[in-house]
Amino acid sequence: MIVPEYWLRDFVDWSMPMDRLARELTMAGLEVEACEPVAPPLPGVVVGEVLSVARHPEANKLSVCSVNAGGKPVQVVCGAPNVRAGMKAPLALPGAKLGGREIKAAALRGVASNGMLCSALELGLSEDQAGLLELPAAARPGSGVREALALEERLLSLKLTPNRGDCLSVLGVAREVAALTGAKLKAHAPKPVAAKGKAKHPLRITDAEGCGRFAGRVIRGVDAAAPTPDWMRRRLERAGQRSISALVDVTNYVMLELGRPLHVYDQDKLSGAIDVRWGRAGEKVLLLNGQQVEVDSSVLCITDDSGPIGLAGIMGGESTKAETTTRNLFLESAFFFPGAIAGRARRYGFSSDASHRFERGVDFESNVPGIERATKLILEICGGEPGPTVDLVKRLPKRKPVRMRVARAQKVIGMPIRKTEMAAVFKRLGLPARHKSGSFTVQPPSFRFDLEIEEDLIEEVARIHGFENIPANPPRGPAKMAALPEARRSLHAVRERLAARDYQETINFAFVEPAWEADFAGNAHPVRLLNPIASHASVMRSTLLGSLVANIRANHARRLARIRVFEVGRVYLREPSAKDGPLEVAGLRQPVRVAAAAFGPALEEQWGTPARAVDFFDLKADLEALLAPRLARFEAAAHPALHPGRAARVLLEGAPVGWLGELHPRWQQKYELPQPPVLFEVEAASLTEAPLPRPTHCSRLPPVIRDIALLVDTEVSVQALLDSVREVELPIVQGVRLFDFYQGPNLPPGKKSLAFRVVMQDTERTLTDAEADSARQALVELWGRRFAAQQRA
């Protein structure tokens, strides 16, 4: 929103400097991004009066002009098509600088030119380059062009939050300036324009839940081809609007001034009564931007007997637009409920000034004043005979009074602001307020859609009082050093462990593509978003694996060969009712998970180790190190995201806590990866528990080692053999581990060979060979009895 200073002063005349006003507005919540003059200094650019115009002897499109610059006439060669004797235009004399370019005396096609007559584009005032910028007739030749065009005016560029739709107008900003500076807000209600004819156009509101009020006026006999006055064109351009035609410029002017969007129809193109209703399937409308859209029952339309002629609150239609040949017009001023307009323009891939305002809420009491202001301007510029204003009211918003407790406001703000000052704030803001029994009751005005709850009024008090005037008192409390639980580690410590193992952390959006949920979680019914920020990110994730695969794809596309990434984040699972820490959502569980993925070489390129691709056991080792000192078990199982034969369920104390495996070949091909990444995903709670270490006696005596080679059925797992060791009491056995595996043609069918190393040790004495052999034999007999294992020679 760009607000020209002089336009703003039409409503409120303040005394403080503009830079200070910009700071006050910013501190009050209306962020001022820039406060700059209309144009750069423009030294050497003066008012020039064209005395005569002659054709250039060597160029048909150039003219040789004699220009009065306040002294002796100067000769200037000009190519503008609108140059003529008697006009006044900006003249850049030799030495002037425009856009970093210095103007010099030169010869153009053999004719001397001592300066340059300028367009608005060359001065940096607008995008208009059709011809010379014509100055007012009263401008004095030789005087500075800044004075003639009031270029000392400052422009305020405001960045407004979505709740402050009331400030999308000069009047709205003027209310804020008056409240902040104490200056008086000038009377701004337009005077009614008396009807001179009886012409009316029939109106109807079929769907009042979308349109609560519709006002209109017929003006007959207008000259729509009349030029827009310079003063209006200049204000529109400085506010960021391009001048189009007199009628369109008037509606834009009223919208910027009062915040009231209007629309002008050619009445002769209307077929029957205007009706505001929801669209119907199959109906189409060609809009003013040349786009044809199809509407449905969720889109509010302006219609006549021919069907839709515009999208309500968004854009008018091509079939009924007012043109320079229009003689009779119908002026529309309606109130549309924000919920009926929000999101509709974005659905069709565009936005408009009207939709931007209606989505945030437009003053529903400004319909008739907007028509009166526009009528006055149209009659002044285009002439015509106005008919009576028709104001059809069906349903208006019910603004409930809002109560604010004084004590509550003081507590929230953090300082004892007196109730008299609070009353003064409400008065300066134009908010009707009554004080009774320690609280204020405020009736929100029709233009303030953001005042609904007590906290809204507290905010108004705080910002008008001045956030900078609220003392910054640091909280005081007894310093207490809380003991860190030894049996738990923080998620930050988990992140440090992963980073130490050469992984880099990623942070991804929690809303993902539906295809990711189907591919990586087998989830056909994920939690869907009602209003996604993008059409492809429309569901909440139930796994972190999809995001990590996307990270690998993005990095691989940028030619990174070795990629190791991890993420700590929440997933969203449907459940009847669940809680997860401080977050609670009915029917939704939101646990924190930790996931990692590795792709490419297992190690950085080096001379000491042959290059090999990362595999299942590399990530298994990383996960075991992450879980330490807790020992995990890994069971072969199927997961929709993982390779059927290279995936495992992770178990801790018999309970499943996650998954580990290689990406499924189907998804590797679909997501165009040259080799499969290896991934794991586990519950964060399993990583944050860290049992206290248990000290054991360290033996000073040498261990005894025995090897056992067995022949077992291929269905027998190594883990089952190791688990069975706990069933026999062999106190001298300190550890059993697999060190060799063989399966091939030299063995009987259905058999495999396993070799275990048994470490035996006592803390009090040296073991004898007989004791070691007895323990070894006990293990062989156990495995033979339980698994039909045969000892190999």
For the cut 60, the answer to whether the pLDDT of residue 206 exceeds it is yes
Classified as helix, coil or strand, 332 is strand
> Can you give the pLDDT at residue 591?
94
pLDDT tens, residue by residue, 225-235: 999 998 999 89
**Which string of DSSP letters, residue by residue, matches 39-57?**
S---TTEEEEEEEEEEEET
Amino acid 584: pLDDT: 44
* 287-297: pLDDT as tens digits: 999 999 999 99
> pLDDT tier at 221 (50, 70, 90 boundaries)?
very high
Confidence bin at 576 (pLDDT 50/70/90): low
User: DSSP letters of 88-135?
Assistant: EEEEE-TT-EETTEE---EEETTEEE-SEE--TTTTTS-S--SS--PP
Give the C-alpha separation, 724 to 738, whole Å: 14
The pLDDT of residue 719 is: 87
How does pLDDT run across 329-362, given as a tens digit for each residue? 999 999 999 999 999 999 999 999 999 999 999 9
Confidence of residue 579 (pLDDT cuts 50, 70, 90): very low
Residue 651 binned pLDDT confidence (cut-offs 50, 70, 90)? very high
Helices (H), 239-296: 246-258
Write down the pLDDT at residue 581.
Answer: 42
Q: Is 628 exposed, middle or buried (0-12, 13-18, 19+ CB in 10 A)?
A: exposed
Q: What's the confidence (pLDDT) of residue 578?
A: 42
pLDDT of residue 513: 94
Q: What is the mean pLDDT of residues 212-240?
A: 94
Token pair 């001379």 is found at: 607
Mean pLDDT, the chain, rounded, equals: 92
pLDDT in tens, 454-478: 999 999 999 999 999 988 888 777 8
CB-CB contact of 735 with 756 (8 Å): no
| Beta carbons of 552 and 520 less than 8 angstroms apart | no
Q: Which uninterrupted H or E stretch holds 73?
A: none
Name 146's bridge partners. none
Rounded alpha-carbon distances, angstroms, from residue 281 to 307, 308, 315: 12, 12, 19
The answer to whether the beta carbons of residues 67 and 74 sit under 8 Å apart is yes
The proportion of the chain whose per-residue pLDDT surpasses 90, expressed as a percent, equals 77
Q: Is the model's pTM score more than 0.75?
A: no
Per residue in 390-439, pLDDT (tens digit) is 999 999 999 999 999 999 999 999 899 999 999 999 999 999 999 999 99
Dihedral sign from CA coordinates of 771, 772, 775, 776: negative
Q: Per residue in 245-279, pLDDT tens?
A: 999 999 999 999 999 999 999 999 999 999 999 99
